[in-house]
Amino acid sequence: MEQRQLASLGVLGVLAEEETATMNRIHEKLRHSFGRYWGASTGILMPTISQLEDDGHVTSVRDGDEYGYEITSAGHERLQTLLSEPVDDISNPTFHSHLFLKLGFLHHLPTAAQHDELNALQAQLFEARDRLRTLEARHEDESSSSNATGYRSQLLDLRVRIIDAFLEWLAAVQSMTE
């Protein structure tokens, strides 16, 4: 998911949870909730909010000296569409911002759609783990002949372990929502 779509997901997600929010409040809420996974700068948020307003997904309202924003019904529909988009490569850390924003706002989907998305994430994780294990086996064959040293040979194993931990967490989340 490109940065503008991530920003749209973030803005619409915040506005779905707040009656009205200023640009600063949206920025603060995203930074507080997702700052470790995605750096939502005002440089991306302002043009995104303007585009969302042009598209009819948010409306601006005056709140004293500041302008605030509210999500529209079209914005709620757009949020559900963004939440339903698959994460490109779930095992690649560069896509974690999309993954964590999606998980953070997934509760805005109907329950059945939440389950579908969690099942799709689980399937993606199993596929990614299988791909990594195949690479790991190939890497072991190649490195055994070259006497590889250091921790590099263990990095694929680390990624597999991270996926396994994520699968365990996902199973716990799914059992709580059933």
- Could you read off the pLDDT of 72-89 as tens digits, one per residue? 999 999 999 999 998 887
Spatial strand order in the sheet of 66-71: 21-22, 66-71, 58-63
pLDDT at position 65 is 84
Token pair of 39, please? 């750096």
Q: How far apart are CA 149 and CA 136, in angstroms?
A: 15
- Is residue 129 situated within a structural domain? yes
With both helix axes pointing from N to C terminus, report the angle between 3-17 and 96-105 in degrees, rounded to the nearest 10: 20
Across the chain, what does the average pLDDT equal?
Answer: 87
Q: Which of 68, 83, 98 is the last residue of a domain?
A: 83
Q: Which residue has the tokens 């190939």?
A: 138
Are 74 and 138 in a shared domain? no
Domain containing 123 equals 111-177
More confident residue, 152 or 60: 60
Cα–Cα distances (Å) from 17 to 30, 114, 131, 166, in that order, read 12, 17, 37, 26
- Is residue 99 situated within a structural domain? no
Q: Residue 138 above 70 pLDDT?
A: yes
pLDDT at position 149 is 55
- Could you read off the pLDDT of 5-16 as tens digits, one per residue? 999 999 999 999
Q: Quick one: what percent of the chain has pLDDT higher than 90?
A: 56
Domain count of the chain?
A: 2
What pTM does this model have? 0.76
Q: How far apart are CA 5 and CA 19, in angstroms?
A: 22
Q: How far apart are CA 81 and CA 164, in angstroms?
A: 28
pLDDT at position 3 is 86
pLDDT band for position 117 (cuts 50, 70, 90): very high
- Is residue 105 situated within a structural domain? no
Residues whose CB is less than 8 angstroms from the CB of residue 171 and which lie 6 or more positions away in sequence, other chains included: 122
- Is residue 98 situated within a structural domain? no
Q: Residue 20 above 70 pLDDT?
A: yes
Are 20 and 78 in a shared domain? yes
Closest CA to 15 of 61, 71, 77: 71
Are 78 and 116 in a shared domain? no
CATH of the domain at 53: 1.10.10.10
Segment 14-24 shows an average pLDDT of: 93
Q: Residue 58 above 90 pLDDT?
A: yes
Range ranked top by mean pLDDT from 17-31, 94-108, 125-139: 17-31
